[in-house]
Amino acid sequence: MEYPLQLSFKLLAIARQISVTDARGQLALYVKQKAFKLKEAVTVFADAAQARALYTIQADRILDISARYNFADATGNYLGSIKRQGMRSIWKAHYDVFDGDRLELTITEESAWTKVLDALLGEIPVVGMFTGYLFHPAYLVKRTNGAVVLRLEKRPALFEGKFTVTKHGDLSEREETRALLAIITTVLLERGRG
């Protein structure tokens, strides 16, 4: 993948569809979340026509703040998982990314104050409509030793979600795949903000 990557989706869509483009503006991934499912089900495609599925993201349980989301390739081979740290994520979003049972990466919100201000101002009539343009949460993807490898940042937009992923460290191909699937899951779970 050529970084930075751009993620974009419409905020008012029934079924979330995320386009991921690379630094050259080429579509790298196309993500579609199934609508009206009790258990989250997401498919990642190679193209916008949704002709070739690459990966799936499946929740292990129904509607749970601490659900684990498992990643698999198109043939069903397990690639890893992500789990939101429920109570720990109330103040500041925190996700753990696993390779099997081994913790490999964490995704944490860079500033808890952005989340607090976004939530407070989002409740004010009229002003709440513009929080997506005012507040730009950022998330750091780190190794267990604290080294940042990727950074996800919300971009200003009123009626759509726009994010940029920048690379800050080396990742193997398998780690990069797991990290990108984790970022996609984070965007889908945190989409209610901004």
Domains detected in the chain: 5-189 (2.40.160.200)
Neighbours of 119 (CB within 10 A): 13
Please give the pLDDT value at position 9. Answer: 85
Using the predicted structure, report yes or no on whether residue 121 has a pLDDT greater than 80: no
The CA-atom distances, in angstroms, between 186 and each of 96, 138, 155, 194 are 11, 11, 15, 14
Q: What's the CA gap between 184 and 45, in Å, rounded?
A: 12
Please give the pLDDT value at position 160. Answer: 77
Using the predicted structure, report yes or no on whether residue 148 has a pLDDT greater than 80: yes
Q: What's the CA gap between 47 and 19, in Å, rounded?
A: 9
In this prediction, residue 168 has a pLDDT band, given cuts at 50, 70 and 90, of: very high
Q: What's the CA gap between 119 and 47, in Å, rounded?
A: 35
pTM: 0.86
Three-state SS across the chain? CCCCEEEEEECCCCCCEEEEECCCCCEEEEEEECCCCCCCEEEEECCCCCCCEEEEEEECCCCCCCCEEEEEECCCCEEEEEEECCHHHCCCCEEEEEECCEEEEEEEECCHHHHHHHHHHHCCCCHHHHHHHHCCCEEEEEECCCCEEEEEEECCCCCEEEEEEEECCCCCHHHHHHHHHHHHHHHHHCCCCC
In tens, the pLDDT along 7-57 reads 998 766 667 889 999 999 999 999 998 876 656 789 999 999 999 999 999
Q: What's the CA gap between 48 and 65, in Å, rounded?
A: 30
Q: What's the CA gap between 122 and 118, in Å, rounded?
A: 6
In this prediction, residue 194 has a pLDDT band, given cuts at 50, 70 and 90, of: very low
Using the predicted structure, report yes or no on whether residue 80 has a pLDDT greater than 90: yes
Residue, of 184 and 155, whose pLDDT is higher: 184
Query: Percent of the chain at pLDDT above 90?
Result: 56
Please give the pLDDT value at position 22. Answer: 97
| Burial grade of 81 (CB within 10 A; 0-12, 13-18, 19 or more) | buried
Using the predicted structure, report yes or no on whether residue 96 has a pLDDT greater than 80: yes
Residue, of 33 and 91, whose pLDDT is higher: 33
The predicted model gives 102-116 an average pLDDT of 84
Please give the pLDDT value at position 123. Answer: 67
* 64 touches 85 (CB < 8 A): no
The predicted model gives 152-164 an average pLDDT of 84
